[in-house]
Amino acid sequence: MLWRGWGDPARARPLPDAVRELLHDLLGVRPADAPPLPLAEVGVPASRLPPATRAALAAVVGDGSIRDDDESRVRHTRGKSTPDLLRIRRGDVAAAPDAVVLPGTHDDVLGVLRVCTEHRVVVVPYGGGTSVVGGLTPAGTRAAGGGEGGEGGDGGDGGRWPVVALDLRRLDRMTAFDAVSRTATLEPGLRAPRAEALLRERGHTLGHFPQSYEWATIGGFAAARSSGQASAGYGRFDDMVVGLTVATPRGTLELGRAPKSAAGPDLRQLVLGSEGAFGVITAVTVRIRSAPVTTAYEGWRFPSFAAGAAALRVLAQDGPLPTVLRLSDETETMVGLARPTRLTRLDLQAAGCLVVAGYEGTAADLADRRAKARAVLRAAGGTHLGPEPGEQWAEGRYAAPYLRDALLDAGAFAETLETASFWSGLPRLYEAVREALTATLTDAGTPPLIMCHISHVYAAGAALYFTVVAADPGTAGWARAKDAANEAIAAAGGTISHHHGVGTDHRDWYAREIGPLGVEVLRAVKDRLDPAGILNPGVLIPPD
């Protein structure tokens, strides 16, 4: 992956001049002051990993599986949020880990955790590096939160502790396939495309396709409660997990003896979403499905966001549910359709709101569900636009992060945030977040373009995904806007995250969401599983 941006550098494309001019005229975007620093010119702090600690780690994983060269450390610095990228593009790698350790087995992970506990070394589990909520910059790093010193696992000395990135890429196998139960056991470093390819060879699919799909890993999906773009048909990733193996500083957790159980609280749910703070996931058993025989996408137009949301609610509550179902608001629809397209019959001045519906399965099942869903959408006031809008969305479904990089190159600021609520609270939540972002960024002299879509639907509610484009307000200016949006989410009764996770960015808001007693419960679990506090300190759980 590009060290200072997203994905394959060969797929990066600059913005057309006409788009640059539009950004200047509409939002006041000015060219960036300077291009990003080349990797060779980035100054990396000296590693603080003591020789004795390095030798102890090498005794576990082998000397060739420890990397402390500058490039490896830079490539494991921070995640892929816009503030992360802005810092690294200007050469701020103060948060670089002191070494990268690559275990090859579950026992290797246990051994690394034992050494790091004994030597007081912070451990950051690392999968695809796609976190957008500060999940890879724990409080034990030199520059946690972007420059300020942080406390570590012991509440005081951790800011001076060395940090290792525990890169799980060598744990990349499918270790079991059960065609009878339709389950597969996957190691955490397995990238999503490879996992899907292994399953397709056996006629099955996981059905999990988030926007990070091309780079994210199975372990990351579990650790962050990922939700894919086909969640209407396949469910969230945490819905797919039936078993987990977890390495902790205290030993191993083996969870999941049956799909469901009444044997006490489900500890699988304690690990899912724990973001490496409780342990390192070393195996995930997931339920799988037969690979679809055929796939079809189509688009629908609704006169307003409210009308489109009402139609999606009917499908979510009464069926039939498409495999993919999403609704763009008026702004996102207009911006998305403003590029050259064959949709010449669509009047952009009355574009309304676009619904994309996708269907997978056998030919007969697809035809039946599509016919019934079309009847619901027509009855709700939708206008059928044919296959092109849906196919166009499917073709570009993983391209948005590349566009974000191009916007940053042009001097613009682009970032996303997401939330969810019950259907009855969704209109209030939508307006509250838009108003908070608009007011804060406008007051800062960087009036934004704000787009939103409903990305995931449930019988009881849905998720809202916002995209913000503006002239660069700086990391401090965005932090104020994000705080205002978070406050609006809390006040409107939404959750602080639907699928991006908590990390450090959302940690304090998450604490408000679950309350002081809830935080105490998490701290008690942390203290039991990781008494030295080496695992991602400050991520998910506020320091004492």
How does pLDDT run across 439-455, given as a tens digit for each residue?
Answer: 999 999 999 999 999 99
Q: DSSP string of 406-419?
A: HHHHTTEEEEEEEE
CA 318 → CA 239, 305, 306, 310, 312, distances in Å? 20, 20, 18, 12, 10
**What is residue 388's predicted lDDT score, i.e. its pLDDT?**
95
Q: With contact defined as beta carbons under 8 Å apart, do 535 and 123 qualify?
A: yes
User: Average pLDDT, stretch 17-36?
Assistant: 90
Residue 479 has pLDDT above 80, yes or no: yes
Beta-bridge partners for 178? 183
Residue 151 has pLDDT above 50, yes or no: no
User: Average pLDDT, stretch 308-327?
Assistant: 98
Per cent of the chain over pLDDT 90 is 90
Pair of tokens at residue 7: 């994905």
Residue 367 has pLDDT above 90, yes or no: yes
Selected residue with higher pLDDT from 219 and 543: 219
Spatial separation of the C-alpha atoms in residues 459 and 313, rounded to whole Å: 7
**What is residue 152's predicted lDDT score, i.e. its pLDDT?**
40
Spatial separation of the C-alpha atoms in residues 412 and 90, rounded to whole Å: 15
User: Average pLDDT, stretch 156-167?
Assistant: 79
User: Average pLDDT, stretch 428-446?
Assistant: 98
Q: How confident is the model at residue 143 (pLDDT cuts 50, 70, 90)?
A: low
Q: How confident is the model at residue 337 (pLDDT cuts 50, 70, 90)?
A: low
Spatial separation of the C-alpha atoms in residues 523 and 518, rounded to whole Å: 9
Q: How confident is the model at residue 314 (pLDDT cuts 50, 70, 90)?
A: very high
Pair type for strands 163-167 and 99-101: parallel
Domains in the chain: ranges and CATH: 174-290 (3.30.465.10)
Q: With contact defined as beta carbons under 8 Å apart, do 161 and 140 qualify?
A: yes
Beta-bridge partners for 453? 328, 465
Selected residue with higher pLDDT from 227 and 146: 227
Residues in Cβ contact with 331 at an 8 Å cutoff, skipping those fewer than 6 apart: 449, 450, 451, 452
CA 14 → CA 7, 336, 395, 416, distances in Å? 15, 17, 19, 20
Q: With contact defined as beta carbons under 8 Å apart, do 136 and 124 qualify?
A: yes
Residue 198 has pLDDT above 80, yes or no: yes
pTM over 0.85: yes
Query: Tens digit of pLDDT for each residue in 233-263?
Result: 999 999 999 999 999 999 999 999 999 999 9
Residue 344 has pLDDT above 90, yes or no: no
